[in-house]
Amino acid sequence: MYRALGERYPDAHCELDFADPFQLLVATVLSAQTTDVRVNGVTPALFARYPDATALAAADRADLETLIQPTGFFRAKSESLLRLGAALVERFDGEVPGRLQDLVTLPGVGRKTANVVLGDAFGVPGVTVDTHLGRLVRRFGWTEEEDPVKVEHAVGALFPRREWTTLSHTLIFHGRRTCHARRPACGACPVARQCPAYGAGETDPTKATALVRTGPRA
């Protein structure tokens, strides 16, 4: 199934725009409860104003809220970013740490965010369990676990460690574009024959193809 999905999405990648670990960390924190497209729309101005952890820690709260308002929950996210910047400055000399055990101690950073940063900014393989990956691996029958940490370990045990980051991107691409939560496009799915959940969505090939999306979605 992974091989077939890899052929469908050979360019699967992180859809957040970033230039360094700090930018990816901030963008991932902002991506909660919104789309990558919306985050990518605000980060150029955000990073122009606050290019590093030191600048972010000293940011004007009202200005920060205005900059990130389109991402939703902007007051809570502003608080998280201010605390995140301060923690990076106080505990890591303003640099984003490259270890999971350090990243998860930062404000607003859980294992999902940490694995995104490790995999895409540091080249350290990780399974990123977002809503898409969790939904797909349960539909595929790869695990019955619901807890994200247990899902991470269960899926990681099925594949070589070197594949974890690419695997995550591939499944997230499929979840965003074809295997939707409410109406999966089963008739246009490359793993339909292997999928235990086939039939949960539209099976007619023409109708299913019309459901396939071409860009990033939350």
The set of catalytic residues is: 112, 130
Mention every residue, 6+ apart, whose C-beta is less than 8 A from residue 41. Answer: 70
CA-based torsion, 27, 30, 32, 34: positive or negative: negative
Mention every residue, 6+ apart, whose C-beta is less than 8 A from residue 54. Answer: 85, 89, 94
CA 110 to chain centre: 12
SS3 71: helix
Q: Are 124 and 118 in contact (CB under 8 A)?
A: yes
Q: Compute the 3-state secondary structure of the chain and give helix, strand, coil in percent, each to the nearest 5.
A: 60, 0, 40
Q: Are 5 and 170 in contact (CB under 8 A)?
A: yes
Q: What are residue 75's phi and psi, to 5 degrees?
A: -70, -45
